[in-house]
Amino acid sequence: MSEQHQEISAADILYILENPWEKLEWEWKLANESERQETLQFIKDRLKLTQQGGYSKIWKTPDDEPLAIFGGYKVGDKKYATFFVSSKHMKKYGMQISFDMRKIARELVVQFKGCSTSQYAEADDTDRISWYRFLGYKYKPEGDIGNKRYFEYVSPDI
């Protein structure tokens, strides 16, 4: 099984925020130094939450440059929230990361029996919708909010 938590430094996060993958850039406040610092603190706070029964992972390039960070933390009874932030290196390593994330989700299902996590995607963001489906998320129209489509990953009660 993958490690539950990996050491993720502020420098790792800041590298990603200063070199974002363009497909995720709109999600994070990155327009200026003040916004990057605010986003850095937001991600650091979320990483602290992962320490209390959640999960976090960082991927790096062969040259040890931060590639992506994924985390999940508890927000309710059997309910988790996730976050994902990635650098410009996703262009080259995106497929590898996607397969790894899908594998991790399958491993975590064993530990987090009966739990769920959710994500939203803009209705016209077909790449993201396809990616969520690839990772194992299911579309749940009852959770839609306006133009945002609701996807949920549910582990079975095994």
pLDDT digits 0-9 by tens, 51-81: 988 889 999 999 999 999 998 888 888 888 8
Q: How far apart are the first and last CA of the chain?
A: 18
Residue 142 lies in a domain: no
Residue 90 lies in a domain: yes
Residue 133 lies in a domain: no
pLDDT digits 0-9 by tens, 86-120: 999 999 999 999 999 888 877 776 777 777 777 88
Average pLDDT over residues 127-133: 87
pLDDT for 61: 96
Q: How confident is the model at residue 30 (pLDDT cuts 50, 70, 90)?
A: confident
Range of the domain at 52: 10-112
How many folded domains does the chain comprise?
Answer: 1
pLDDT for 156: 66
Per DSSP, which regions of the chain are E strands?
55-60, 66-76, 79-86, 116-122, 138-139, 148-154
Residue 29 lies in a domain: yes
pLDDT for 1: 38
Mean pLDDT of the chain: 86
**Is-contact 16 88, C-beta < 8 A?**
no
Residue 102 lies in a domain: yes
Return the minimum-mean-pLDDT range out of 1-5, 50-54, 147-151: 1-5
Residue 81 lies in a domain: yes
